[in-house]
Structure 1
Amino acid sequence: MATAERTDEAMLDWLNSPAVTVFGAPTSWAELLGFATGMLCVLLVVRQHVANWPVGILNVLLLMVVFWSAGLYADAGLQIVYVVLGGYGWWQWTRGTGRDGVTGVRTTTRVEWTGLATAGVVLTGLLWFFLDRFTGSTVPLPDAFTTALSLLATYGQARKLVESWWLWAAVDLVYIPLYGYKGLWLTAILYVGFLGLCGLGWRAWRADLRERSAGPGPVGATVTA
């Protein structure tokens, strides 16, 4: 048991140790590996490849270490929820509701938009109160807002709602200056890349949606399981 604990501590120490320097700030191995797995994950989401979920779970575990070390406690806690949502999304994408055996892309209904908006306001308010009163977060409101919106975007991604890309783009626009302010420059650059991939993802999913709406016929290569 003691050996396992020492191994875990050694791993955490290594993940938190400097790997490179970006804009004069040391960048840990956790942040560097989070950058690589994050980019791979979003590229797989754009292609609707189911492997994005296990890669994404690895990514959020790495980012949990990064965010906790930077004092972004809501973002660190959010990664635990992402692991659960990752399992849900993995199951949702492979349960075979589409005509080609994979859950298909669809648009968000009015009822879903109402539910998402309500959940977003409530989650942001609760998290803001918690972070402001009970943690040492230096940016409680942006931390709470991005946490809530990220949860909604991940839910939309799991359900293959094409508008989930809009939510991710909104999250990225807040995360980029926030991570720069916290000195996490490599992660800020990662989210600039994510913002560009949001545009590619939205176009790819819209194209697939139009193809599916056109009726039976050959399905393009945008869906890979």
Structure 2
Amino acid sequence: MNWLDSLNSEAFALFGQHIKWSDMTGNVIGLIALALGWRRSIWTWPAQLFSGVILLAAFAGAHLSGSAGKQLVVITVAVFGWIQWNRGRGQAQDGSIAVRFATWRERAALLGAAAAGTLAVGALFTAVPTLSWDPWPDAYIFVGTVVAMYAQARGMVDFWFAWLLVDAVGVPLNFANGFAFSGFVYVIYGALVLWGLRDWWLRSREDTRRPVLEGAPA
């Protein structure tokens, strides 16, 4: 048994569901990353990167190309976000970052990109069935993650709403494809997302007079 097989082996059973080591480890680190994001700590990015690497191995082994692709996005955007937050002129001494709501133009651009991206990726997965067993939910999760993480990297409060929409599809998809721990953890994710949304919403009021990110509109 190689390291990938060991990573994707069963750790234990929970409520009749088989829990894989990769699924469990990646999602626990993901929870830590989300909590760090809620605290506006720059360490959310290396945590998201590490979580993405582990879950990439898990989903690739299950032939879920959209979910695996999502982890590639997590890894890439984690590096981008780390750089962005390091350059943030609104950073406090505790390493947190100033946040804001997106403008209506930015929201329209994000929604348009999400819709167009989902149609394009979903069409690709449908045309090439070997890429994904659940093409449209997979495409939705893949593109939604791109949008959410980009908005987070730009310090937009709106990224929490995007995560809620991704999770609404991700939970049943994970259960249906044998990633039960991901399904259970996403329930916790939902609570943390709502908590984080409230915190960032309140923080955005405090930061309205401060520049958010270098090169970004105040």
TM-score, normalised to structure 1's length? 0.86
Deviation at 1:60, TM superposition (A): 0.8
Q: What secondary structure is seen at the aligned counterpart in 1 of 2:18?
A: strand
Deviation at 1:71, TM superposition (A): 2.5
Is 1:44 equivalent to 2:39 in the alignment?
Answer: no
Aligned equivalents of 1:140, 1:163: Cα separation in 2: 26
Match of 2:216 in 1: none
Paired residue type of 2:101: T
8 Å CA contact 1:95–1:103 kept in 2: the answer is: no
Q: What secondary structure is seen at the aligned counterpart in 2 of 1:203?
A: helix
The percentage of counterpart residues that share the same residue type is 31
1:173 aligned to 164, 168, 172, which one? 168
Deviation at 1:83, TM superposition (A): 1.1
Aligned equivalents of 2:43, 2:91: Cα separation in 1: 20
8 Å CA contact 1:60–1:79 kept in 2: the answer is: yes
Match of 1:63 in 2: 55
Aligned equivalents of 1:196, 1:187: Cα separation in 2: 14
Aligned equivalents of 2:135, 2:41: Cα separation in 1: 34
Residues 128 and 96 of structure 1: CA distance in aligned 2, closer, same or farther (over 3 Å): closer
Aligned equivalents of 1:12, 1:194: Cα separation in 2: 26
Residues 192-214 of structure 1 deviation map (CA, whole Å, 9 limit, x = unaligned): 1111111110111112112223x
Q: What secondary structure is seen at the aligned counterpart in 1 of 2:11?
A: strand
Is 1:138 equivalent to 2:133 in the alignment?
Answer: yes
2:111 aligned to 109, 113, 117, which one? 117
Residues 21 and 99 of structure 1: CA distance in aligned 2, closer, same or farther (over 3 Å): closer
Deviation at 1:103, TM superposition (A): 4.1
Q: Residues 206-225 of structure 1 correspond to what in structure 2 (within 5 A)?
A: 206-213=201-208
**What is the alpha-carbon root mean square deviation over aligned residues?**
1.7
Q: Residues 1-225 of structure 1 correspond to what in structure 2 (within 5 A)?
A: 10-98=2-90, 100=92, 103-136=97-130, 137-213=132-208
Aligned equivalents of 2:74, 2:24: Cα separation in 1: 19
Q: What secondary structure is seen at the aligned counterpart in 1 of 2:189?
A: helix
With 109-118 and 18-27 compared, the bigger mean Cα shift is at: 18-27
The count of residues paired between Structure 1 and Structure 2 equals 207
Deviation at 1:185, TM superposition (A): 1.1
Aligned equivalents of 1:78, 1:209: Cα separation in 2: 28
Residues 22 and 181 of structure 1: CA distance in aligned 2, closer, same or farther (over 3 Å): same
Q: What secondary structure is seen at the aligned counterpart in 1 of 2:56?
A: helix
**Greater C-alpha Rg:** 1
Unpaired runs of at least 5, structure 1 = 1-8, 217-225
Residues 48-89 of structure 1 deviation map (CA, whole Å, 9 limit, x = unaligned): 111111111010111112212222111102211221110110
Aligned equivalents of 2:123, 2:192: Cα separation in 1: 32
